[in-house]
Chains A and B, each alone.
Chain A
Amino acid sequence: MHNAMRTVSKTLLFGLGLAGLALPAIAGGWQSFQAAFPVAACMDGWSACLTAGGAVGPGMLHDSAGRPLPSDGRVGWFDLQPTASFSPFVGLSAYSGPAGGAVAAPPVQAPPVADAPVADAPVAAAAPVPAPRPDAGSAPPAQDMSVRVSPAPAQPVAAPQAVVNTTPSRPTPVSAPPVAAYTPPAQPVANTAAAAKPLPVAATVAPVVAPPPVANVAVAQTAVDCTDLVLLEPAAMMGSLTTGQSKCLESRLSSETVQTTRAKISLVMINNAEGKGDKSEWERLVKRHLEDIDRSDPDLCYKYGLQLSRGGAGRASGVIRWADYALENKSKWTGNTYKTRVFALFRMKTEAANKMWQDAEATYTTDHTDENEAKSTKYRGMTKDFAREWLDYAKASTQDTKSAMQYCVSAAGTTAFCEG
């Protein structure tokens, strides 16, 4: 009986394993090419815009040799030449529309036409359909814009415009307004009222400009989605995550149970704080990350220690602590990075101990107690040991020994200890 159970369970496990292996293969599709077709290709958060280097849209750009590039790439992959999206210092597009935005726009009424075949006119759905890219072939479907729309609303440069056409079954491109280089092809009417019944279509009808997809924009501004962290990375690097997105990430972080996912969320928030230049927030987030989530990244421990080292003696013990954690994982570094970082970590530790020694000495000179003297002696010993470690490493790695020697001699009181 037991043997039978074992066989069954082994078979089940084997089957599940096979299914698990197969899943990524099934999931592979257009999602794998998302990075090639960025939804918000422009630096101000819009899908299309005019830059000094030319028009930028979700479709692919091409370099001087005609090789395709993602439109949000700042330099060419092959030739390293600046693309149209090169400059990140682009302000928001000016909004010249009516106050209240697109909500105030009147709904479109399709003009009734007398002599036209009526019965089989196709009608678009009430929600506007993303226009197909002219240069992307069968590109992946556009992603949820809710993540990107939340920055300050600006002029919709190339919003998809619904057009009633003489041949509804085949959308015809409409000539673009002068502001937008990329013009999505026209699509069937996106109007709730018009969608209710079949449209009469005439043989010759002037194109009617429909308002932007009002309902969709409104929903996008209120509903914040932060599930796709990769999509948030560019904004986080620029420090331009919205308050809603930050709150969404914070909420996800508190509810998430998988530690690796928590680490990823936390790193997006850390990068956003750094991009904003908010040092105190950055410190808070990094401290939480290191204390509660993950401290195996030597870069983060190193950087946090370096930040603390710019403070006073009160933060010196933190410097030593996080420098030690970074040194525990120093094997993740290689080559020159290893040499310079390990050297810097020894230096940070020595200087931190020296700060504590100075502080304890200053206290002892004003308050001659045994306790203060013991503290001073302890920190002096730490400085001496750390400086000696630093000096030994500097010698072994053929780096500058001057400062290490100065600290060592200062703490030891004699050159004999340090030169031996």
Chain B
Amino acid sequence: MSLLFTLIVQSLLSTASPALAKPSDEGVPVRVVVRDDAKTPIATAVVRHPQEADRHRVNAVDGSWEASVLYMPDGTELRFTAGMTLNLEISAPGYTTQVLTYQVRKRRNLVDVTLPKIDTDDSQIEEPTISFGRDEPRE
């Protein structure tokens, strides 16, 4: 009887321990929202840690990306913890890339990033005059 009781208690403890450990292992979620100058979400934006190989696409609808842990090329995990300084590169085709340096807080980590468009003004480009097809004497 006492053996049965011990087994039940042990099984209860073993199932309960992961639930207790979860908040401290998972990391603090950080949410980044990428918008343009007109405050419109940029659907094609990507977020990337400088040491990371992959780029993370934002949600195409609201331009947001959220994570609490990143996986590095060497197999290590980078968990976001309160107080750590996080570096992220946020880019999108046609927009100037922004490097974000953010100190993670315990909660409510919401970062708004605005990407300015790359200047494509071609008015400075000089247009050549097309000459007529004159024969040039050989020197």
Contact = CB atoms under 8 A, between A and B. Distances in A.
Interface stretch (B5-13, B20-28, B40-48): B40-48
Contact of A410 (B60, B92, B120, B126): B92
Contacts of B95: 410
Given A309-B122, A362-B43, A362-B44, A413 B133 contact: no
A160 to B, nearest CB: 31
Contacts of A302: 128
A240 to B, nearest CB: 15
A229 interface: yes
A264 B95 CA distance: 44
A270 interface: yes
Contacts of A406: 96-97, 118
Contacts of A344: 125-126
A410 B133 contact: no
Interface in A346-366: 347, 351, 354-355, 357-358, 361-362, 365-366
Interface in B122-139: 122, 125-135
A300 B129 CA distance: 9
Contacts of A236: 132
A186 interface: no
B100 to A, nearest CB: 13
A385 interface: no
A411 B93 contact: yes
A264 B120 CA distance: 35
B89 interface: yes
B91 interface: yes
Contact of A267 (B60, B93, B133): B133
A86 to B, nearest CB: 20
Contact of A303 (B120, B128, B132, B134): B128
Contact of A271 (B93, B125, B130, B135): B130
A354 B97 contact: no
A407 interface: yes
B55 interface: yes
Contacts of B99: 415
Interface of A: 229-230, 233, 236, 260, 263-264, 266-268, 270-271, 274, 297, 299-300, 302-303, 306, 309-310, 340-341, 344, 347, 351, 354-355, 357-358, 361-362, 365-366, 380, 383, 403, 406-407, 409-411, 413-416
